[in-house]
Amino acid sequence: MSVTLERKKVTVPALMAMKQRGEKIAALTAYDFLLANFLDEAGLDLVLVGDSVAMVFAGHETTLPITLEEIIYHTRAVRRGLKNALLVADLPFLSYQVSPEQAVLNAGRLLKEGGAEAVKLEGGSIMAETIRRLVQIGIPVIGHLGLTPQSINAFGGYALQAAHEASARRLLEEAVQLQEAGVFAIVLEKIPATVAREVTQVLKVPTIGIGAGPHCDGQILVTHDMLGLFEKFKPKFVRRFAEAGKLIREASAAYREEVKAGKFPTEQESY
Ligand code: KIV
């Protein structure tokens, strides 16, 4: 028996209300129309065009090289695939840190040209003024704390963040400042579950965890990680819900064999 869920468009206020109801937020990334459409049909609440596109789609070593133009291109494609999920696009490295004016122009392009409904940016209190400006002109913002991949060169690697009392306290303070600046949600990446639980309890806006344990108001993963498509490395927090990489390799090898053996195409597959 197949059950068709009656789904409503997820908006920013609707997403915030999920925290009040105690309903978990399910979020994933997408960079293209087809995958976005699958995620929407599966009932995901939020789809992020993450700057992780730099690594898992474009093959870069870090998220830093991806450009605003490229994120706009991917956001447009994802827009065409979504009906109900909230579409959020990442502001890539150096597209918002220079000044609030730069952030307004570039976040505005993600909405105007890409069709995003909100943007995500990395960083703590230093981003407060920028967030205020964006929110004032009607651009909803998600914050991102903990392991912020655009700062990989400063971190020197992908280590656990907020692992000590002082850094955990600082992260909590930064989260409160982001909330005061007007974010409607905060992504918490690779921090201890106890720290994420405290941040989640203190904040009114939802927390969306990635490697931040089970107490966040929602979870996000890179879709290519959770489908087993990106096999280069697998952090502990990634659960593979499929082995799509293996499936594609096997299907491609089977195709190759049949072509080489003259078994594809058959008469039935010919005109
Ligand atoms: O770029 C990205 O995909 C992200 C998420 C995984 C949170 O920032």
Measured in angstroms, how far is the CA atom of residue 260 from the centroid of ligand 1? 41
74, containing H or E segment: helix 68-81
Q: What is the pLDDT of residue 1?
A: 55
Mutate to test the pocket of ligand 1, among 91, 120, 227 (most ligand atoms within 8 A of CB): 120
Measured in angstroms, how far is the CA atom of residue 240 from the centroid of ligand 1? 16
For the segment 164-191, what is each residue's pLDDT rounded down to a tens digit?
999 999 999 999 999 999 999 999 999 9
Q: Which residues have any ligand 1 atom within 6 Å of their CB?
A: 29, 48, 50-52, 90, 187, 210, 220, 222
The closest residue, in CA terms, to atom 3 on ligand 1 is: 50
Atom of ligand 1 nearest to the CA of 29: 3
User: CB-based burial of residue 263 (10 Å sphere; 0-12 exposed, 13-18 middle, 19+ buried)?
Assistant: exposed
Residue 69 falls in the annotated catalytic set:
no
The closest residue, in CA terms, to atom 4 on ligand 1 is: 50
Atom of ligand 1 nearest to the CA of 221: 6
Q: What is the pLDDT of residue 3?
A: 55
For the segment 250-271, what is each residue's pLDDT rounded down to a tens digit?
999 999 999 999 999 999 999 9
The proportion of the chain whose per-residue pLDDT surpasses 70, expressed as a percent, equals 98
Q: What is the pLDDT of residue 7?
A: 83
CB–CB of 170/212 below 8 Å? no
- The mean pLDDT value of the chain amounts to 97
Closest by CA position to 223, among listed 81, 12, 107 = 81
**What six digits make up the tokens of 263?**
């078994």
Measured in angstroms, how far is the CA atom of residue 4 from the centroid of ligand 1? 29
Average pLDDT, stretch 7-34?
97
Q: What is the pLDDT of residue 21?
A: 97
- Is the pLDDT score of 145 beyond 70? yes
Instruction: Kindly indicate the confidence band of residue 128, based on its pLDDT and cuts at 50, 70 and 90.
Output: very high
Atom of ligand 1 nearest to the CA of 222: 6
Q: How far apart are CA 74 and CA 34, in angstroms?
A: 12
Average pLDDT, stretch 79-101?
98
The single-letter code of the amino acid at 100 is: P
Average pLDDT, stretch 26-40?
98
- Is the pLDDT score of 2 beyond 90? no
Measured in angstroms, how far is the CA atom of residue 50 from the centroid of ligand 1? 5
Annotated active-site residue in 189, 231, 250, 258: 189
Instruction: Kindly indicate the confidence band of residue 6, based on its pLDDT and cuts at 50, 70 and 90.
Output: confident
Measured in angstroms, how far is the CA atom of residue 29 from the centroid of ligand 1? 7
The single-letter code of the amino acid at 236 is: K
Atom of ligand 1 nearest to the CA of 63: 1
Mutate to test the pocket of ligand 1, among 28, 52, 238 (most ligand atoms within 8 A of CB): 52
For 140-209, give the secondary structure using H, E and C: CEEEEEECCHHHHHHHCCCCCCCCCHHHHHHHHHHHHHHHHHCCCEEEEECCCHHHHHHHHHHCCCCEEE
